[in-house]
Chain A
Amino acid sequence: MRIVADKITFTYNRKSKFATRALDEVSLEIAEGDFLGIIGHTGSGKSTFIQHLNGLIPVESGRLTVGETDLFAGVKKNKKQLKNLRSRVGMVFQYPEYQLFEQTVFDDVAFGYKNFFPEADKEEIKAAVFGALDLVGLDRSVLNRSPFDLSGGQKRRVAIAGVIVTKPEILILDEPVAGLDPLGKNELMALLHRLHKTSCKTIIIVSHDMDEVADNCNKVAVFSEGKIIKVGSPKEVFNDYEGLTALRLDVPITEYIAMKLKEKGVYIDTDFSSEDFVKKLVDFYKNVK
Protein backbone atom coordinates (compact mmCIF):
# COMPACT_ATOMS: atom_id res chain seq x y z
CA MET A 1 0.00 0.00 0.00
CA ARG A 2 1.33 3.36 -0.99
CA ILE A 3 0.64 6.51 0.99
CA VAL A 4 0.26 9.82 -0.78
CA ALA A 5 -0.35 13.00 1.19
CA ASP A 6 -1.00 16.08 -0.90
CA LYS A 7 -1.06 19.41 0.89
CA ILE A 8 -2.80 18.27 4.03
CA THR A 9 -3.44 20.92 6.63
CA PHE A 10 -4.77 20.56 10.15
CA THR A 11 -5.66 23.02 12.89
CA TYR A 12 -6.36 22.11 16.50
CA ASN A 13 -9.30 23.95 18.15
CA ARG A 14 -10.12 25.36 14.74
CA LYS A 15 -13.15 27.29 15.83
CA SER A 16 -11.81 28.77 19.04
CA LYS A 17 -9.36 31.53 19.82
CA PHE A 18 -6.82 28.87 20.84
CA ALA A 19 -6.62 27.65 17.24
CA THR A 20 -3.15 26.27 16.47
CA ARG A 21 -2.04 25.20 13.04
CA ALA A 22 -0.39 21.80 13.49
CA LEU A 23 0.09 20.83 9.85
CA ASP A 24 0.57 23.28 7.03
CA GLU A 25 0.20 21.89 3.48
CA VAL A 26 2.20 18.74 4.12
CA SER A 27 2.93 16.61 1.07
CA LEU A 28 4.73 13.28 1.27
CA GLU A 29 4.81 10.06 -0.66
CA ILE A 30 5.62 6.86 1.19
CA ALA A 31 6.25 3.91 -1.09
CA GLU A 32 5.49 0.30 -0.26
CA GLY A 33 8.64 -1.14 1.35
CA ASP A 34 9.90 2.13 2.81
CA PHE A 35 11.42 2.22 6.28
CA LEU A 36 10.69 5.87 6.96
CA GLY A 37 12.07 7.92 9.83
CA ILE A 38 10.15 11.04 10.84
CA ILE A 39 12.22 13.56 12.79
CA GLY A 40 11.58 17.03 14.15
CA HIS A 41 11.47 18.73 17.53
CA THR A 42 8.55 18.46 19.95
CA GLY A 43 5.46 20.18 18.57
CA SER A 44 6.61 20.11 14.95
CA GLY A 45 3.58 18.14 13.75
CA LYS A 46 4.99 14.61 13.62
CA SER A 47 2.33 12.98 15.76
CA THR A 48 -0.50 14.90 14.13
CA PHE A 49 0.72 13.71 10.76
CA ILE A 50 0.93 10.02 11.60
CA GLN A 51 -2.51 10.08 13.17
CA HIS A 52 -3.91 11.06 9.80
CA LEU A 53 -2.57 7.92 8.21
CA ASN A 54 -5.12 5.58 9.76
CA GLY A 55 -7.94 8.07 9.94
CA LEU A 56 -7.64 8.91 13.63
CA ILE A 57 -7.59 12.56 12.64
CA PRO A 58 -9.85 13.47 9.73
CA VAL A 59 -8.28 15.43 6.88
CA GLU A 60 -9.25 19.06 7.19
CA SER A 61 -8.01 20.16 3.80
CA GLY A 62 -5.88 18.50 1.14
CA ARG A 63 -5.80 14.95 -0.20
CA LEU A 64 -4.62 11.77 1.46
CA THR A 65 -4.67 8.30 -0.04
CA VAL A 66 -3.64 5.20 1.86
CA GLY A 67 -3.61 2.25 -0.53
CA GLU A 68 -7.07 2.15 -2.05
CA THR A 69 -8.62 4.27 0.66
CA ASP A 70 -9.32 7.93 0.06
CA LEU A 71 -9.18 10.11 3.12
CA PHE A 72 -9.74 13.38 1.34
CA ALA A 73 -11.25 16.32 3.12
CA GLY A 74 -14.98 16.19 2.59
CA VAL A 75 -15.03 12.52 1.51
CA LYS A 76 -17.52 10.68 3.69
CA LYS A 77 -15.80 7.84 5.48
CA ASN A 78 -17.98 5.05 6.75
CA LYS A 79 -17.12 3.15 9.89
CA LYS A 80 -16.56 -0.09 8.06
CA GLN A 81 -14.09 1.48 5.70
CA LEU A 82 -12.15 3.09 8.56
CA LYS A 83 -12.09 -0.13 10.51
CA ASN A 84 -10.73 -1.97 7.53
CA LEU A 85 -8.07 0.72 7.09
CA ARG A 86 -7.04 0.54 10.72
CA SER A 87 -6.59 -3.22 10.59
CA ARG A 88 -4.17 -2.67 7.71
CA VAL A 89 -2.37 0.37 9.12
CA GLY A 90 -1.17 -0.54 12.62
CA MET A 91 -0.44 2.28 15.02
CA VAL A 92 1.81 1.87 18.06
CA PHE A 93 1.73 4.91 20.30
CA GLN A 94 4.44 6.12 22.68
CA TYR A 95 4.77 3.87 25.72
CA PRO A 96 2.21 1.40 24.33
CA GLU A 97 2.66 -0.80 27.41
CA TYR A 98 0.67 1.77 29.39
CA GLN A 99 -2.35 0.60 27.43
CA LEU A 100 -2.09 -3.05 28.41
CA PHE A 101 -5.08 -3.95 30.55
CA GLU A 102 -6.08 -7.60 30.30
CA GLN A 103 -5.38 -10.32 32.87
CA THR A 104 -3.19 -12.39 30.61
CA VAL A 105 -0.89 -11.79 27.67
CA PHE A 106 -3.11 -13.97 25.51
CA ASP A 107 -6.25 -11.96 26.25
CA ASP A 108 -4.48 -8.67 25.67
CA VAL A 109 -3.20 -9.65 22.25
CA ALA A 110 -6.52 -11.33 21.37
CA PHE A 111 -8.36 -8.10 22.23
CA GLY A 112 -6.69 -6.38 19.27
CA TYR A 113 -7.85 -9.12 16.94
CA LYS A 114 -11.43 -9.44 18.24
CA ASN A 115 -11.87 -5.71 17.89
CA PHE A 116 -11.46 -5.96 14.16
CA PHE A 117 -12.87 -9.45 13.61
CA PRO A 118 -15.70 -9.86 16.14
CA GLU A 119 -17.06 -12.91 14.34
CA ALA A 120 -13.75 -14.84 14.56
CA ASP A 121 -13.94 -18.25 16.23
CA LYS A 122 -11.63 -19.46 18.98
CA GLU A 123 -9.26 -21.35 16.71
CA GLU A 124 -8.84 -18.38 14.44
CA ILE A 125 -8.08 -16.06 17.36
CA LYS A 126 -5.62 -18.52 18.80
CA ALA A 127 -3.79 -18.83 15.50
CA ALA A 128 -3.61 -15.05 15.13
CA VAL A 129 -2.33 -14.52 18.68
CA PHE A 130 0.29 -17.27 18.36
CA GLY A 131 1.40 -15.82 15.04
CA ALA A 132 1.79 -12.34 16.53
CA LEU A 133 3.74 -13.61 19.54
CA ASP A 134 6.08 -15.55 17.27
CA LEU A 135 6.66 -12.43 15.20
CA VAL A 136 7.57 -10.26 18.19
CA GLY A 137 9.76 -13.07 19.52
CA LEU A 138 7.95 -13.83 22.76
CA ASP A 139 7.97 -17.34 24.08
CA ARG A 140 4.57 -19.01 24.42
CA SER A 141 5.27 -19.60 28.09
CA VAL A 142 4.24 -16.00 28.74
CA LEU A 143 0.75 -16.53 27.30
CA ASN A 144 -1.00 -17.08 30.59
CA ARG A 145 1.02 -14.64 32.62
CA SER A 146 -0.14 -11.18 33.54
CA PRO A 147 1.37 -8.65 31.14
CA PHE A 148 2.23 -6.52 34.18
CA ASP A 149 4.69 -9.12 35.48
CA LEU A 150 6.91 -8.82 32.42
CA SER A 151 9.99 -6.65 31.90
CA GLY A 152 9.72 -3.28 30.17
CA GLY A 153 10.97 -4.62 26.85
CA GLN A 154 8.65 -7.63 27.00
CA LYS A 155 5.63 -5.50 27.85
CA ARG A 156 6.29 -3.34 24.87
CA ARG A 157 6.53 -6.40 22.65
CA VAL A 158 3.18 -7.64 23.97
CA ALA A 159 1.67 -4.24 23.12
CA ILE A 160 3.14 -4.40 19.62
CA ALA A 161 1.83 -7.95 19.22
CA GLY A 162 -1.64 -6.58 19.99
CA VAL A 163 -1.29 -4.26 17.00
CA ILE A 164 0.33 -6.59 14.46
CA VAL A 165 -2.12 -9.37 15.29
CA THR A 166 -4.31 -8.12 12.40
CA LYS A 167 -1.30 -8.39 10.04
CA PRO A 168 -1.15 -4.73 9.04
CA GLU A 169 0.78 -3.94 5.87
CA ILE A 170 1.89 -0.61 7.28
CA LEU A 171 3.17 -0.27 10.84
CA ILE A 172 3.59 3.15 12.42
CA LEU A 173 5.46 3.54 15.71
CA ASP A 174 5.81 6.72 17.74
CA GLU A 175 9.23 6.60 19.44
CA PRO A 176 9.34 2.81 19.69
CA VAL A 177 12.47 2.52 21.85
CA ALA A 178 11.92 5.44 24.27
CA GLY A 179 12.55 4.44 27.88
CA LEU A 180 13.91 0.97 27.14
CA ASP A 181 17.26 -0.21 28.47
CA PRO A 182 20.03 -0.81 25.88
CA LEU A 183 19.23 -4.49 25.57
CA GLY A 184 15.52 -3.88 25.11
CA LYS A 185 16.30 -1.19 22.57
CA ASN A 186 18.52 -3.41 20.43
CA GLU A 187 16.01 -6.25 20.56
CA LEU A 188 13.19 -3.96 19.51
CA MET A 189 15.10 -2.53 16.54
CA ALA A 190 15.96 -6.09 15.46
CA LEU A 191 12.27 -6.93 15.76
CA LEU A 192 11.28 -4.03 13.50
CA HIS A 193 13.72 -5.22 10.85
CA ARG A 194 12.36 -8.74 11.13
CA LEU A 195 8.82 -7.43 10.71
CA HIS A 196 9.89 -5.32 7.76
CA LYS A 197 11.29 -8.41 6.04
CA THR A 198 8.34 -10.65 6.83
CA SER A 199 4.91 -9.18 7.42
CA CYS A 200 4.78 -5.37 7.50
CA LYS A 201 5.88 -4.06 4.15
CA THR A 202 6.14 -0.46 5.24
CA ILE A 203 7.46 0.77 8.58
CA ILE A 204 7.25 4.35 9.77
CA ILE A 205 8.97 5.45 12.97
CA VAL A 206 8.94 8.78 14.74
CA SER A 207 12.28 9.19 16.47
CA HIS A 208 14.48 11.67 18.30
CA ASP A 209 17.50 9.41 17.97
CA MET A 210 19.30 10.46 14.81
CA ASP A 211 21.81 7.62 14.94
CA GLU A 212 18.95 5.17 15.02
CA VAL A 213 17.37 6.84 11.99
CA ALA A 214 20.67 6.97 10.06
CA ASP A 215 21.30 3.30 10.79
CA ASN A 216 17.84 1.94 10.04
CA CYS A 217 15.82 4.05 7.63
CA ASN A 218 15.98 4.33 3.87
CA LYS A 219 14.04 7.57 3.89
CA VAL A 220 13.83 10.49 6.30
CA ALA A 221 11.29 13.32 6.57
CA VAL A 222 12.12 16.38 8.65
CA PHE A 223 9.21 18.25 10.22
CA SER A 224 9.38 21.80 11.48
CA GLU A 225 6.52 24.04 12.51
CA GLY A 226 3.92 21.92 10.76
CA LYS A 227 5.77 21.63 7.49
CA ILE A 228 8.03 19.01 5.96
CA ILE A 229 11.17 20.95 5.23
CA LYS A 230 13.26 18.14 3.90
CA VAL A 231 12.71 14.60 2.69
CA GLY A 232 15.09 12.12 1.13
CA SER A 233 17.61 9.38 1.87
CA PRO A 234 19.59 9.71 5.13
CA LYS A 235 22.53 10.75 2.97
CA GLU A 236 20.58 13.63 1.47
CA VAL A 237 18.91 14.73 4.67
CA PHE A 238 21.82 14.45 7.07
CA ASN A 239 24.25 16.13 4.72
CA ASP A 240 23.13 19.47 6.12
CA TYR A 241 24.73 20.03 9.48
CA GLU A 242 23.96 23.74 9.72
CA GLY A 243 20.34 23.27 8.65
CA LEU A 244 19.63 20.53 11.21
CA THR A 245 21.39 22.22 14.09
CA ALA A 246 19.56 25.49 13.25
CA LEU A 247 16.35 23.50 13.90
CA ARG A 248 17.90 22.52 17.25
CA LEU A 249 17.92 18.89 16.19
CA ASP A 250 20.66 16.44 16.99
CA VAL A 251 22.71 15.01 14.19
CA PRO A 252 24.09 11.47 14.00
CA ILE A 253 27.56 11.17 15.47
CA THR A 254 28.76 10.02 12.04
CA GLU A 255 27.60 13.31 10.56
CA TYR A 256 29.32 15.30 13.27
CA ILE A 257 32.64 13.58 12.54
CA ALA A 258 32.21 13.82 8.76
CA MET A 259 31.39 17.52 9.01
CA LYS A 260 34.40 18.27 11.19
CA LEU A 261 36.70 16.31 8.88
CA LYS A 262 35.30 18.23 5.93
CA GLU A 263 36.23 21.48 7.64
CA LYS A 264 39.76 20.14 7.73
CA GLY A 265 39.63 19.41 4.03
CA VAL A 266 38.82 15.69 4.14
CA TYR A 267 35.62 14.65 2.43
CA ILE A 268 34.12 11.29 3.39
CA ASP A 269 31.38 10.24 0.98
CA THR A 270 28.99 8.35 3.26
CA ASP A 271 25.29 7.72 3.82
CA PHE A 272 25.92 8.31 7.58
CA SER A 273 24.96 4.79 8.67
CA SER A 274 27.66 3.60 11.05
CA GLU A 275 28.40 0.57 8.87
CA ASP A 276 29.05 2.64 5.76
CA PHE A 277 30.89 5.35 7.68
CA VAL A 278 33.32 2.86 9.24
CA LYS A 279 34.01 1.31 5.85
CA LYS A 280 34.69 4.65 4.16
CA LEU A 281 36.98 5.84 6.97
CA VAL A 282 38.94 2.60 6.90
CA ASP A 283 39.32 2.92 3.10
CA PHE A 284 40.59 6.44 3.59
CA TYR A 285 43.05 5.27 6.23
CA LYS A 286 44.42 2.57 3.91
CA ASN A 287 45.05 5.17 1.23
CA VAL A 288 46.87 7.45 3.66
CA LYS A 289 49.02 4.58 4.80
Chain B
Amino acid sequence: MQAIVFDGVSFFYKPSEENELPKLILNDLSLEVEKGAFIALLGKNGSGKSTCAKLINGLLTPTSGTVSVFGLPLSGENTDLFEIRSKVGMVFQNPDNQQIASIVEDDIAFGPENLGVPREEIGRRIDYALKVTDMEKFRYSQVARLSGGQKQRIAIAGALALNPEILILDESTSMLDPKGRREVTEVARNLNREKGMTVIDITHYMDEAAEADEIYVLDDGKLRKKGDPSEIFSDEEMLAETGLELPRASKLAKELRLQGLPLKKGILSKEELLEELCVSLRIK
Protein backbone atom coordinates (compact mmCIF):
# COMPACT_ATOMS: atom_id res chain seq x y z
CA MET B 1 0.00 0.00 0.00
CA GLN B 2 1.24 3.46 -0.86
CA ALA B 3 1.24 5.92 2.01
CA ILE B 4 1.99 8.91 -0.18
CA VAL B 5 1.64 9.45 -3.92
CA PHE B 6 2.72 12.58 -5.80
CA ASP B 7 1.39 12.53 -9.34
CA GLY B 8 2.82 15.18 -11.66
CA VAL B 9 2.92 17.79 -8.93
CA SER B 10 4.04 21.31 -9.75
CA PHE B 11 4.07 24.13 -7.29
CA PHE B 12 4.93 27.77 -7.57
CA TYR B 13 4.52 30.80 -5.40
CA LYS B 14 2.73 33.72 -6.95
CA PRO B 15 5.23 36.50 -7.62
CA SER B 16 5.11 39.39 -5.18
CA GLU B 17 5.54 41.99 -7.90
CA GLU B 18 3.78 42.16 -11.23
CA ASN B 19 6.82 42.07 -13.46
CA GLU B 20 8.38 39.04 -11.73
CA LEU B 21 8.13 35.51 -13.00
CA PRO B 22 6.52 32.93 -10.73
CA LYS B 23 9.07 30.96 -8.75
CA LEU B 24 8.81 27.29 -9.66
CA ILE B 25 9.50 25.17 -6.57
CA LEU B 26 8.30 21.73 -7.71
CA ASN B 27 8.42 20.78 -11.34
CA ASP B 28 6.15 17.92 -12.44
CA LEU B 29 7.22 15.79 -9.50
CA SER B 30 6.03 12.20 -9.22
CA LEU B 31 6.97 9.90 -6.38
CA GLU B 32 5.57 7.21 -4.14
CA VAL B 33 6.29 6.27 -0.55
CA GLU B 34 5.41 2.80 0.64
CA LYS B 35 3.56 2.37 3.94
CA GLY B 36 5.96 1.59 6.77
CA ALA B 37 9.05 2.93 4.97
CA PHE B 38 11.72 5.06 6.59
CA ILE B 39 12.76 7.57 3.96
CA ALA B 40 15.39 10.28 4.05
CA LEU B 41 14.59 13.22 1.78
CA LEU B 42 17.73 15.07 0.72
CA GLY B 43 18.58 18.04 -1.45
CA LYS B 44 20.16 21.44 -1.08
CA ASN B 45 18.36 24.47 0.31
CA GLY B 46 15.63 25.51 -2.09
CA SER B 47 15.34 22.11 -3.80
CA GLY B 48 11.70 21.73 -2.70
CA LYS B 49 11.96 19.39 0.30
CA SER B 50 9.93 21.45 2.76
CA THR B 51 7.36 22.26 0.10
CA CYS B 52 6.84 18.51 -0.35
CA ALA B 53 6.32 18.13 3.39
CA LYS B 54 3.73 20.90 3.44
CA LEU B 55 1.91 19.41 0.47
CA ILE B 56 1.62 16.06 2.21
CA ASN B 57 -0.54 17.43 5.00
CA GLY B 58 -2.34 20.02 2.97
CA LEU B 59 -0.65 23.12 4.39
CA LEU B 60 -0.05 23.93 0.73
CA THR B 61 -2.07 22.92 -2.32
CA PRO B 62 -0.32 21.95 -5.57
CA THR B 63 -0.56 24.37 -8.48
CA SER B 64 -1.11 21.33 -10.70
CA GLY B 65 -1.09 17.58 -10.23
CA THR B 66 -2.33 15.65 -7.20
CA VAL B 67 -1.01 14.53 -3.86
CA SER B 68 -2.74 11.59 -2.17
CA VAL B 69 -2.29 10.18 1.29
CA PHE B 70 -3.44 6.57 1.73
CA GLY B 71 -5.38 6.90 -1.49
CA LEU B 72 -7.17 10.08 -0.45
CA PRO B 73 -6.46 13.07 -2.69
CA LEU B 74 -5.62 16.29 -0.85
CA SER B 75 -7.30 18.60 -3.31
CA GLY B 76 -10.63 18.53 -5.06
CA GLU B 77 -14.19 18.99 -3.93
CA ASN B 78 -14.78 16.22 -1.43
CA THR B 79 -11.52 16.48 0.41
CA ASP B 80 -11.62 16.12 4.17
CA LEU B 81 -8.41 17.94 5.05
CA PHE B 82 -8.95 17.43 8.76
CA GLU B 83 -8.98 13.70 8.33
CA ILE B 84 -5.85 13.69 6.22
CA ARG B 85 -4.01 16.09 8.48
CA SER B 86 -4.65 13.88 11.45
CA LYS B 87 -2.85 11.11 9.60
CA VAL B 88 0.28 13.19 9.06
CA GLY B 89 2.30 14.44 12.02
CA MET B 90 4.91 17.09 11.34
CA VAL B 91 7.88 18.22 13.39
CA PHE B 92 9.60 21.39 12.22
CA GLN B 93 13.11 22.74 12.57
CA ASN B 94 12.69 25.06 15.51
CA PRO B 95 10.82 23.50 18.45
CA ASP B 96 10.02 26.94 19.85
CA ASN B 97 7.81 27.63 16.82
CA GLN B 98 5.70 24.57 17.46
CA GLN B 99 4.96 24.66 21.15
CA ILE B 100 1.77 26.25 22.37
CA ALA B 101 1.20 25.56 26.05
CA SER B 102 3.66 26.12 28.87
CA ILE B 103 3.26 22.69 30.49
CA VAL B 104 4.27 19.56 28.59
CA GLU B 105 0.99 17.72 29.15
CA ASP B 106 -1.14 20.64 27.94
CA ASP B 107 1.03 21.10 24.91
CA ILE B 108 0.55 17.50 23.82
CA ALA B 109 -3.21 17.74 24.45
CA PHE B 110 -3.58 20.78 22.20
CA GLY B 111 -3.87 18.84 18.92
CA PRO B 112 -6.47 16.24 19.97
CA GLU B 113 -8.45 18.87 21.93
CA ASN B 114 -8.75 20.85 18.73
CA LEU B 115 -10.16 17.83 16.95
CA GLY B 116 -12.72 17.30 19.71
CA VAL B 117 -11.29 14.03 20.95
CA PRO B 118 -13.02 12.95 24.21
CA ARG B 119 -11.21 13.80 27.42
CA GLU B 120 -10.44 10.27 28.54
CA GLU B 121 -9.10 9.35 25.16
CA ILE B 122 -6.84 12.42 25.25
CA GLY B 123 -5.45 11.22 28.57
CA ARG B 124 -4.65 7.83 27.05
CA ARG B 125 -2.99 9.42 24.06
CA ILE B 126 -0.81 11.61 26.27
CA ASP B 127 0.27 8.54 28.24
CA TYR B 128 1.15 6.77 25.03
CA ALA B 129 2.94 9.72 23.41
CA LEU B 130 5.06 10.39 26.49
CA LYS B 131 5.94 6.73 26.82
CA VAL B 132 7.02 6.32 23.22
CA THR B 133 9.19 9.45 23.31
CA ASP B 134 10.58 8.49 26.72
CA MET B 135 9.46 11.78 28.25
CA GLU B 136 7.12 10.42 30.95
CA LYS B 137 8.92 12.07 33.81
CA PHE B 138 8.54 15.49 32.20
CA ARG B 139 4.73 15.36 32.00
CA TYR B 140 4.24 18.31 34.34
CA SER B 141 7.44 20.18 33.44
CA GLN B 142 7.60 23.58 31.83
CA VAL B 143 8.32 23.27 28.12
CA ALA B 144 10.61 26.32 28.22
CA ARG B 145 12.93 24.60 30.69
CA LEU B 146 13.62 21.55 28.51
CA SER B 147 16.70 21.05 26.35
CA GLY B 148 16.45 21.28 22.57
CA GLY B 149 16.38 17.50 22.14
CA GLN B 150 13.68 17.17 24.81
CA LYS B 151 11.60 19.92 23.19
CA GLN B 152 11.74 18.13 19.85
CA ARG B 153 10.66 14.91 21.53
CA ILE B 154 7.70 16.82 22.96
CA ALA B 155 6.95 18.08 19.45
CA ILE B 156 6.96 14.46 18.26
CA ALA B 157 4.74 13.51 21.20
CA GLY B 158 2.34 16.30 20.20
CA ALA B 159 2.23 14.90 16.68
CA LEU B 160 1.71 11.35 17.98
CA ALA B 161 -1.27 12.44 20.05
CA LEU B 162 -3.11 12.87 16.74
CA ASN B 163 -2.60 9.16 16.01
CA PRO B 164 -0.79 9.83 12.76
CA GLU B 165 0.26 7.13 10.35
CA ILE B 166 2.98 9.24 8.81
CA LEU B 167 5.62 11.23 10.67
CA ILE B 168 7.51 13.97 8.84
CA LEU B 169 10.67 15.38 10.39
CA ASP B 170 11.41 18.63 8.56
CA GLU B 171 15.03 19.30 9.53
CA SER B 172 13.94 18.54 13.07
CA THR B 173 17.46 17.76 14.20
CA SER B 174 19.32 20.68 12.67
CA MET B 175 19.22 22.92 15.74
CA LEU B 176 20.18 20.15 18.16
CA ASP B 177 23.52 19.02 19.53
CA PRO B 178 24.69 15.49 18.65
CA LYS B 179 23.05 13.99 21.71
CA GLY B 180 19.71 15.67 21.01
CA ARG B 181 19.95 14.57 17.40
CA ARG B 182 20.39 10.94 18.43
CA GLU B 183 17.45 11.16 20.85
CA VAL B 184 15.12 12.37 18.13
CA THR B 185 16.22 9.96 15.42
CA GLU B 186 16.01 7.04 17.84
CA VAL B 187 12.40 7.87 18.69
CA ALA B 188 11.53 8.03 15.00
CA ARG B 189 13.40 4.80 14.32
CA ASN B 190 11.55 2.95 17.10
CA LEU B 191 8.18 4.23 15.93
CA ASN B 192 8.99 2.96 12.48
CA ARG B 193 10.19 -0.47 13.61
CA GLU B 194 7.70 -1.16 16.34
CA LYS B 195 4.55 0.60 15.19
CA GLY B 196 5.10 0.48 11.45
CA MET B 197 4.97 4.27 11.25
CA THR B 198 5.90 5.71 7.86
CA VAL B 199 8.70 8.22 8.50
CA ILE B 200 10.04 10.91 6.20
CA ASP B 201 13.22 12.48 7.52
CA ILE B 202 14.23 15.69 5.77
CA THR B 203 17.82 16.32 6.73
CA HIS B 204 21.18 17.83 5.85
CA TYR B 205 23.11 15.26 7.88
CA MET B 206 24.42 12.55 5.59
CA ASP B 207 25.26 10.25 8.51
CA GLU B 208 21.61 10.42 9.54
CA ALA B 209 20.42 9.75 5.99
CA ALA B 210 22.74 6.74 5.69
CA GLU B 211 20.59 4.99 8.31
CA ALA B 212 17.34 5.33 6.35
CA ASP B 213 15.86 2.42 4.38
CA GLU B 214 15.71 4.51 1.27
CA ILE B 215 16.90 7.95 0.19
CA TYR B 216 15.08 10.29 -2.19
CA VAL B 217 17.16 13.11 -3.67
CA LEU B 218 15.39 16.24 -4.82
CA ASP B 219 17.02 18.68 -7.16
CA ASP B 220 15.42 21.73 -8.74
CA GLY B 221 11.95 20.54 -7.81
CA LYS B 222 12.36 17.11 -9.40
CA LEU B 223 13.15 13.67 -8.02
CA ARG B 224 16.72 13.23 -9.17
CA LYS B 225 17.30 9.75 -7.76
CA LYS B 226 16.00 7.26 -5.25
CA GLY B 227 17.68 4.21 -3.88
CA ASP B 228 19.08 2.60 -0.76
CA PRO B 229 21.90 4.50 0.99
CA SER B 230 24.71 2.50 -0.62
CA GLU B 231 23.30 3.15 -4.09
CA ILE B 232 22.85 6.86 -3.41
CA PHE B 233 26.25 7.39 -1.83
CA SER B 234 28.08 5.53 -4.59
CA ASP B 235 26.78 7.90 -7.26
CA GLU B 236 29.35 10.62 -6.78
CA GLU B 237 28.49 12.51 -9.92
CA MET B 238 24.90 12.90 -8.72
CA LEU B 239 26.03 13.88 -5.22
CA ALA B 240 28.26 16.63 -6.57
CA GLU B 241 25.58 17.98 -8.90
CA THR B 242 22.91 18.05 -6.21
CA GLY B 243 25.14 19.65 -3.57
CA LEU B 244 25.24 16.62 -1.29
CA GLU B 245 28.24 14.96 0.25
CA LEU B 246 29.31 11.57 1.57
CA PRO B 247 28.72 10.41 5.14
CA ARG B 248 31.79 10.87 7.34
CA ALA B 249 32.93 7.24 7.13
CA SER B 250 32.48 7.08 3.34
CA LYS B 251 34.43 10.31 2.93
CA LEU B 252 37.34 8.99 4.95
CA ALA B 253 37.24 5.64 3.13
CA LYS B 254 37.35 7.43 -0.20
CA GLU B 255 40.42 9.47 0.83
CA LEU B 256 42.17 6.29 1.98
CA ARG B 257 41.37 4.57 -1.30
CA LEU B 258 42.70 7.51 -3.29
CA GLN B 259 45.97 7.32 -1.37
CA GLY B 260 46.38 3.67 -2.29
CA LEU B 261 44.86 1.80 0.64
CA PRO B 262 42.51 -0.83 -0.77
CA LEU B 263 39.04 -0.67 0.80
CA LYS B 264 35.82 -1.98 -0.61
CA LYS B 265 33.28 0.52 -1.89
CA GLY B 266 29.98 1.25 -0.21
CA ILE B 267 31.25 1.84 3.34
CA LEU B 268 28.67 3.96 5.18
CA SER B 269 29.33 3.68 8.91
CA LYS B 270 32.38 3.98 11.14
CA GLU B 271 31.92 0.37 12.26
CA GLU B 272 32.08 -0.86 8.67
CA LEU B 273 35.11 1.32 8.02
CA LEU B 274 36.89 -0.14 11.03
CA GLU B 275 36.08 -3.67 9.95
CA GLU B 276 37.36 -3.10 6.42
CA LEU B 277 40.52 -1.41 7.70
CA CYS B 278 41.29 -4.41 9.86
CA VAL B 279 41.04 -6.62 6.78
CA SER B 280 43.27 -4.38 4.65
CA LEU B 281 45.81 -3.80 7.39
CA ARG B 282 45.74 -7.46 8.42
CA ILE B 283 44.81 -6.69 12.00
CA LYS B 284 42.98 -9.34 13.97
Contact = CB atoms under 8 A, between A and B. Distances in A.
Size category of the A interface is 35 or more
B245 A186 contact: yes
Interface SS majority for chain A: helix
Given A257-B270, A260-B274, A278 B255 contact: yes
A277 interface: yes
Contacts of B44: 181-184
B248 A253 contact: yes
> Which of A185, A248, A281 gathers the greatest number of chain B CB atoms within 10 Å?
A281
Interface residues of B, number: 38
B3 to A, nearest CB: 26
A25 interface: no
Interface stretch (B77-85, B122-130, B156-164, B176-184): B176-184
B283 A182 contact: no
Interface in A263-289: 264-266, 274, 277-279, 281-282, 284-286, 288
A153 interface: yes
Interface in B144-198: 147-148, 171, 174-175, 177-180
Contact of B252 (A42, A95, A274): A274
B261 interface: yes
Given A208-B177, A288-B282, A181 B255 contact: no
B252 A277 contact: yes
Interface string B237-261: 0000001110011011001100111
A43 B273 CA distance: 33
Contacts of B245: 182-183, 186
A253 B277 CA distance: 13
Interface string B34-59: 00000000011110000000000000
Interface string B269-284: 0100110011011111
B204 interface: yes
Interface in A80-130: 95
B46 A151 contact: yes
Contacts, number: 98
Given A182-B206, A264-B278, A279 B259 contact: yes
A277 B251 CA distance: 13
Interface string A231-269: 000000000000000001110011011001100111000
Contacts of A41: 177, 179
Interface in B96-116: none
Interface in A171-211: 178-186, 208-209, 211
A33 interface: no
Interface in A205-219: 208-209, 211
A153 B45 contact: yes
A285 B261 contact: yes
Contacts of A260: 274
A254 B252 contact: yes
A182 to B, nearest CB: 4
A185 B63 CA distance: 32
A261 B283 contact: yes
Given A274-B252, A282-B256, A282-B261, 15 more contacts: A42-B148, A42-B177, A153-B45, A179-B175, A179-B204, A181-B45, A181-B243, A183-B243, A186-B245, A208-B177, A253-B252, A261-B278, A266-B283, A274-B255, A288-B281
22 contacts: A42-B180, A152-B45, A152-B46, A178-B174, A181-B44, A181-B243, A184-B45, A209-B178, A253-B248, A253-B249, A253-B252, A257-B252, A257-B274, A260-B274, A264-B278, A264-B283, A265-B283, A274-B252, A282-B260, A284-B281, A285-B261, A286-B260
* Interchain residue pairs A-B with the least CB separation, the first 10: A183-B243, A182-B245, A152-B45, A282-B259, A250-B178, A179-B174, A208-B177, A181-B44, A278-B255, A253-B248
